Amino acid sequence: MAADLVLDTAIRDWVLIPLSVVMVLIGVLRYFVSKLMRSSQLPDAKIVKEGQVIIRARNLRASANFIPSKSFRARKAYFSNEENGLLFVPKGQAQNPQAQMFSDPNMAMDMMKKNLSMIIPQTLTFAWVNFFFSGFVAAKIPFPLTQRFRSMLQNGIDYSTIDVSYVSSRSWYFLNMFGLRGLFSLILGEENATDDTQKMMQMSGFGFDPSKSLGAEKDGLDIIQHEWALPKFEQRAEATLRKLIS
């Protein structure tokens, strides 16, 4: 291991701190920009209605055991009746999802905007770091690494005698990129950029082919085994209340 290096404090003042600050600020900026660019498309009333029906049916399925079987049967009939149930889809009326996709270019547009807002700042920062801060040691990682990491962490530095734990500013950039995710979730709240994409996927999957999910929900409701979970709840409530009084 080489002797301990003494790094210039100017590196700290002009490389380490600005890099971290810029990364944090770019993260915040990206959050607000993606919030602004999120186009509030007016959803089709029919699709919204079907989505709500699906949610109601799902609620019924989830808590089926907490209502008496008579009530459950009534609700089930209301949803999955063969003639006019809410979940019943007449044949031939189902929309082709491909055609729907083409008729709604907004969705693809949204997706592209989201991707661009992710990629552009990253490339820009990386180019910035490469251009200004390459060719010198910027930081020391407080744990030893093997020689394998040298080409990754020390590119731009051509000394084979330096300990591998001294890294260039590019690796400091990568460390920031991965490590600041936790900080962002603390300062920006739950709606992080990474979470956003997942939510987006869910949303688009949700309203994508409503007739199909209606059918699936109907099948799910049909095969559910009803078993009332609270057969003696009156007695139990009485006991609890009596215990409260006495």
Partner 1 sequence: MGGHDDSGSSEKKSIGVANDVPTFNAENMQNNMKAVYYCRTFMCIIGGVVAGILGFTGLTGFIFYFLVMAITSVGLIAKAGFSIHSYFDSWNQIIFDGILGGLMSFVLFWTFAYDFVHIF
Position 9 contacts partner 1 (CB under 8 A): yes
Q: 135 vs 179, which CB is nearer to partner 1?
A: 179
Helix (H) or strand (E) holding 100: helix 97-103
Identity of the amino acid at 144: P
User: Does the footprint of partner 1 cover residue 230 (CB under 8 A)?
Assistant: yes
Task: Kindly write out the interface string for residues 91-130 of this chain, putting x where it contacts partner 1 by CB under 8 A and - elsewhere.
Answer: ----------------------------------------
Position 159: which residue type?
Answer: Y
Considering the rule CB under 8 A, would residue 66 count as an interface residue with partner 1? yes
| Shortest distance, position 232 Cβ to partner 1, whole Å | 10
Per CB under 8 A, the list member of 26, 65, 211, 224 interacting with partner 1 is 65
Q: Does 90 bind partner 1 (CB under 8 A)?
A: no
Listed in order, strand segments (DSSP E) in 106-207 are: 137-140, 166-168
Contacts of 25 (CB under 8 A, 6+ apart): none
3-class SS of residue 23: helix
| Dist CA 60 CA 79 (whole Å) | 10
Q: What is the distance between the alpha carbons of residues 9 and 96, in angstroms, rounded to a whole number?
A: 64
Instruction: Please tell me whether residue 199 binds partner 1 under the rule CB under 8 A.
Output: no
CB of 136 to partner 1, least distance (A): 14
What SS3 state is found at 120? helix
* Interacting residues with partner 1 (CB under 8 A): 7-9, 11-12, 16, 20, 65-66, 139-144, 172, 175-176, 178-183, 185-186, 190, 229-230
